[in-house]
């Protein structure tokens, strides 16, 4: 029996083969994401992986709706597996915002789902770091959010040579659009053309732009000029003051596909252009009002960064750490008469937070040693004497081969000092 197409299993390292997904790499990414978000004062939230379908259809671009993983449940409700986190966040904020002083900064690491026609290697789920700031109109919030995005990638070892944030503005594009086309209802259609302009044949884009009353040339000139608005300038200055100026540039070729963005928008790309976008986000000042049925009106902005493209990028840049040392100590039980006392030693080490393993059943000494090495143990420990008050343990460092005989209370320090 096999898993569903487009879904992933995550196995422990070392992986049997390279096309499997690593639970250890996933944990490494999640840990760095969490630590960086917390260093910025972002607080964790989460919502259900299932939501009423309506939450996503109320104001998502048509593109998202066609990709929804939706179904009817046993209670005849229309349900969708969440394709993105922002509508859930907006729903949660609308319900409880009064209790949280503005602006507030929240993060989450949800699993998200979509149901597209199956393509080779295309996944139907991924995990995504979501970071949002609620209740601040000033562009200082946009800068804070983008700095967090940059530092989340830096925390994984990526540098300004590896990635760049392409900063753009829905406002700039809206002004561009309004100057040339009086029919505001067609703005989203126009944004969709811009969103795909890099991936579309020029003639095709030109044709669509022409229908909307634009020339391909004027659009491309506007992108090429890349003249920052005052708002973008202040974001760039703020990022520069943090010493992160090398990580950002204005690029009006970015506009973001979703309908709900209102102000600055941005995407993170690898510099070599080998991968799809690593992350993307922007302002969505009207979404909370919409989701709350007009009751709550709060400015907001956020970004999402998925684990799939990021994992590929980390592998390509050799930034996946070795997951070699999987336990700290393997307790050797060479004499079965000492098993009971050795179990006490195992328990003592584990209670001190030292990851410890041993052979559950009787095993020859050299086999136990082999097992210790297979498990990536840093040390072996063997009970030499279990006399009450005078217990002695032989501790061997498997890297340096150094052996020492210690009292149990000296063990933890000796193990920890070896890093």
307-326: contacts with a second copy (CB under 8 A): 326
Binding mask 67-96 for a second copy (x = CB under 8 A): --xxxxxxx-x-x-x---------xx--xx
CB atoms within 10 A of CB 113: 22
Among 59, 61, 65, 111, binds a second copy (CB under 8 A): 111
4 counts as binding a second copy under rule CB under 8 A = yes
Site for a second copy in 209-228 (CB under 8 A): none
**Shortest CB 197 distance to a second copy, Å:** 30
The answer to whether residue 375 forms part of the interface with a second copy (CB under 8 A) is yes
Asked whether position 337 contacts a second copy by CB under 8 A, the answer is: no
Q: Where are the beta strands (DSSP E) in 307-402?
A: 329-332, 356-358, 379-385, 392-397
**Among 291, 308, 320, 391, which residue interacts with a second copy (rule: CB under 8 A)?**
291
Binders of a second copy: how many residues, by CB under 8 A?
99
Check residue 241 for interaction with a second copy (CB under 8 A). Answer: yes
What mask, x for binding a second copy by CB under 8 A, covers residues 128 to 167? Answer: --------x-x-xx--x--x---x----------------
Please compute, for residue 303, the number of CA atoms within 13 A of its CA located in the half-sphere on the CB side: 29
How far is residue 69's CA from residue 76's CA, in Å, rounded to a whole number? 16
Residues 6+ apart with CB under 8 A from 336: 362
Tell me the window of 183-191, 192-200, 217-225, 242-250 that interacts with a second copy (CB under 8 A): 242-250
What is the C-alpha separation between 128 and 303, in angstroms, rounded? 10
Each residue 344-363 as x (binds a second copy by CB under 8 A) or -, in order, gives x-xx--xx-xxxxx--xx--
Give the whole-angstrom CA distance, residue 96 versus residue 398: 54
CB 60 within 8 A of CB 70: no
Least distance CB 33 / a second copy (angstroms): 13
Nearer to a second copy, 180 or 339 (CB): 339
List the interface residues with a second copy, window 27-66 (CB under 8 A).
27, 35-36, 38-41, 43-52, 54-55, 58
Q: What string of DSSP letters covers 144-159? A: HHHHHHHHHHHTTT--
Residue among 86 and 238 whose Cβ is closer to a second copy: 238
Q: Which CB atom, from 54 or from 211, has the smaller least distance to a second copy?
A: 54
Q: How far is the CB of 200 from a second copy (least distance, A)?
A: 27
Which residue in the block uniquely carries the two structure tokens 């109320």?
58
According to CB under 8 A, which one of 130, 238, 262, 368 is a site residue for a second copy? 238
Give the count of beta carbons closer than 10 Å to the beta carbon of residue 172: 22
- Give the Cα separation of 139 and 147 in Å (integer): 12
Instruction: Please state at what angle helix 139-154 crosses helix 23-39, rounded to 10 degrees.
Output: 140
Q: Indicate which single residue of 65, 115, 187, 228 sits in contact with a second copy (rule: CB under 8 A).
A: 115
Half-sphere exposure of 264 (CA within 13 A, CB side): 30
- Copy the structure tokens of residue 291: 């989701």
Residue 308 CA to its chain's centroid (Å):
9
Q: Closest separation between CB of residue 3 and a second copy, Å?
A: 6
Tokens, residue 308: 């799939």
Nearest approach, Cβ of residue 62 and a second copy (Å): 17
């Amino acid at each position: 029996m096999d898993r569903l197409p487009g879904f992933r299993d995550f196995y422990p390292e070392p992986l049997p083969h390279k096309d499997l997904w690593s639970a250890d790499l996933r944990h490494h990414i999640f840990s760095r994401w969490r630590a960086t978000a917390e260093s910025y004062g972002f607080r964790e939230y989460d919502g259900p992986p299932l939501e009423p379908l309506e939450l996503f259809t109320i104001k998502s671009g048509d593109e998202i709706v066609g990709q929804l993983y939706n179904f009817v449940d046993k209670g005849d409700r229309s349900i969708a597996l969440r394709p993105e986190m922002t509508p859930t966040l907006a729903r949660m904020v609308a319900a409880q915002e009064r209790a949280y002083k503005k602006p507030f900064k929240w993060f989450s690491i949800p699993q998200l789902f979509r149901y597209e026609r199956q393509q080779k290697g295309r996944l139907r789920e991924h995990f995504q770091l979501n970071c949002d700031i609620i209740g601040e109109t000033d562009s200082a919030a946009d800068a804070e959010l983008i700095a967090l995005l940059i530092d989340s990638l830096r925390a994984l070892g990526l540098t300004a040579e590896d990635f760049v944030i392409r900063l753009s503005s829905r406002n700039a594009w809206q002004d561009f659009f309004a100057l040339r086309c009086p029919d505001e209802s067609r703005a989203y259609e126009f944004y969709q053309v811009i969103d795909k302009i890099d991936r579309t044949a020029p003639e095709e884009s030109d044709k669509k732009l022409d229908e909307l009353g634009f020339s391909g040339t004027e659009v491309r000139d506007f992108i090429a000029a890349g003249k920052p608005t005052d708002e973008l300038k202040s974001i760039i200055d703020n990022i520069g003051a943090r010493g992160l100026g090398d990580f950002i540039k204005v690029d009006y070729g970015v506009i973001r596909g979703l309908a709900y963005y209102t102000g600055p928008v941005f995407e993170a790309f690898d510099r070599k252009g080998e991968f799809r976008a690593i992350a993307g986000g922007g302002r969505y000042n009207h979404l909370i009002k919409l989701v709350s049925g007009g009751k709550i009106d709060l400015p907001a902005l956020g970004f999402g960064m998925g684990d799939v493209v990021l994992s590929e990028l980390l592998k390509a840049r050799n930034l996946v750490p070795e997951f070699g040392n999987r336990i700290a100590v393997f307790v050797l039980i060479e004499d079965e008469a000492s098993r009971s006392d050795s179990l006490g030693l195992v328990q003592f080490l584990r209670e001190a937070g030292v990851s410890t393993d041993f052979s559950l059943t009787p095993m020859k000494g050299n086999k136990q040693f082999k097992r210790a090495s297979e498990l990536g143990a840093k040390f072996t420990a063997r009970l030499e004497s279990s006399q009450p008050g005078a217990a002695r343990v032989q501790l061997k460092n498997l890297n340096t081969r150094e052996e020492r005989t210690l009292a149990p209370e000296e063990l933890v320090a000796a193990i920890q000092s070896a890093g």
